[in-house]
């Protein structure tokens, strides 16, 4: 049976989270409503994550990986995964498991009507500082993009692979996936999902990369929006 859905997981220094991640993903693949595989992308980890990922993928069916030679950032990890995905649909999940793969099942019912379906972590399990910085960064992003998404940082998303491949590579790409799908004239949908506290490893986010980083990236998005060209074929022969 052909795979229909690829779960993309960017990884950066998550050695402590990997055993739990592998188990959760493996358990979900056994019961997923669509035949699914996993594509792990190690973004230049320095803690041994890359070796563990390679070893696991070589020994485990339905798991594949991309290993970067150095740290390029989550946007680059996602774009590389988009470019190497062969299934009609793809999803995105963070390695810290603050969202669970089972909740893709909450998004699937809407994907036929929308270009992108994203989770909304309405009841966050983060620290106060993380919630405030996320809320501030989100407000700044909405001001520039007008996508009106409550929780664009939610890593649980589903979109069509052909649309994902049309998204250009730029720093902070992960923050603008809904906006980039809107540029393709496709509607987007938010669905309330569960959010869980981090159980292993340490967060890579702080005020600088949750507010200042997104602010700078918004200017890149504004330029891309003005320059973005998309096309659809009327016919193809031969």
State residue 166's pLDDT score.
93
Residues 25/101, Cβ–Cβ less than 8 Å:
yes
| Helix H or strand E encompassing 15 | none
pLDDT, tens digit, for every residue of 4-41?
999 999 999 999 999 999 999 999 999 999 999 999 99
Asked whether residue 130 is domain-assigned, the answer is no
**Total number of domains in the chain:** 1
φ/ψ region of 172 (left if φ > 0, alpha if ψ in -120 to 50, else beta) reads: left
With tokens 């792990």, the residue in question is 40
State residue 86's pLDDT score.
96
Tokens, residue 43:
């973004």
Q: State the pairing for strand pair 89-92/63-67.
A: unpaired
Question: Can you tell me the distance from the alpha carbon of 151 to that of 209, in angstroms, rounded to the nearest whole number?
Answer: 16
In which band, very low, low, confident or very high, does the pLDDT at 133 lie, cut at 50, 70 and 90? low
Asked whether residue 190 is domain-assigned, the answer is yes
Question: Can you tell me the distance from the alpha carbon of 126 to that of 186, in angstroms, rounded to the nearest whole number?
Answer: 31
Q: Is the pLDDT of residue 159 over 70?
A: yes
pTM above 0.75, yes or no: yes
| 22 three-class SS | helix
Give the domain CATH number at 87. 3.90.550.10
Asked whether residue 238 is domain-assigned, the answer is no
The arrangement of strands across the sheet holding 63-67 comes to: 63-67, 36-42, 5-11, 89-92, 157-160, 116-120, 188-192
Question: Can you tell me the distance from the alpha carbon of 192 to that of 150, in angstroms, rounded to the nearest whole number?
Answer: 10
Asked whether residue 11 is domain-assigned, the answer is yes
> Is 218 or 102 the better-scoring residue by pLDDT?
102
> Is 120 or 36 the better-scoring residue by pLDDT?
36
| Helix H or strand E encompassing 27 | helix 18-31
Tokens, residue 210:
């949750």
State residue 126's pLDDT score.
56
pLDDT, tens digit, for every residue of 145-158?
666 677 777 889 99
Asked whether residue 135 is domain-assigned, the answer is no
Asked whether residue 227 is domain-assigned, the answer is no
pLDDT, tens digit, for every residue of 75-90?
999 999 999 999 999 9
Least confident of 38-42, 92-96, 229-233: 229-233
How many contiguous H segments (helices) and E segments (strands) does the chain have? 9, 7
Asked whether residue 94 is domain-assigned, the answer is yes
Domain of residue 80: give its range.
5-124+151-202
């Amino acid at each position: 049976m052909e795979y229909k859905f690829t779960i993309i997981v960017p990884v950066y220094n998550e050695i402590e989270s990997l055993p739990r991640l592998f188990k959760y993903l493996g358990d979900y693949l056994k019961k997923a409503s669509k035949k699914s595989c996993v594509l792990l992308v190690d973004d230049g980890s320095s803690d041994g994550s890359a070796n563990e990922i390679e070893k696991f993928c070589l020994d485990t069916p339905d798991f594949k990986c991309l290993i970067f030679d150095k740290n390029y950032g989550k946007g680059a990890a996602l774009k590389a995964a988009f470019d190497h995905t062969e299934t009609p649909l793809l999803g995105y999940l963070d390695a810290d498991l603050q969202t669970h793969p089972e909740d893709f099942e909450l998004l699937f019912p809407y994907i036929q009507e929308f270009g992108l379906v994203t989770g909304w972590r309405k009841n966050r399990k983060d620290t106060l500082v993380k919630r405030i910085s996320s809320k501030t960064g989100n407000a700044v992003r909405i001001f520039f993009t007008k996508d009106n998404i409550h929780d664009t940082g939610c890593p649980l998303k589903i979109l069509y692979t052909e649309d994902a491949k049309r998204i250009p590579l730029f720093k902070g790409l992960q923050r603008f996936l809904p906006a980039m799908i809107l540029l393709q004239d496709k509607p987007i949908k938010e669905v309330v999902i569960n959010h869980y506290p981090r159980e292993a490893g340490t967060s890579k986010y702080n005020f600088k990369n949750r507010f200042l980083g997104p602010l700078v990236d918004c200017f890149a998005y504004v330029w891309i929006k003005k320059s973005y060209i998309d096309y659809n074929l009327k016919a193809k022969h031969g």
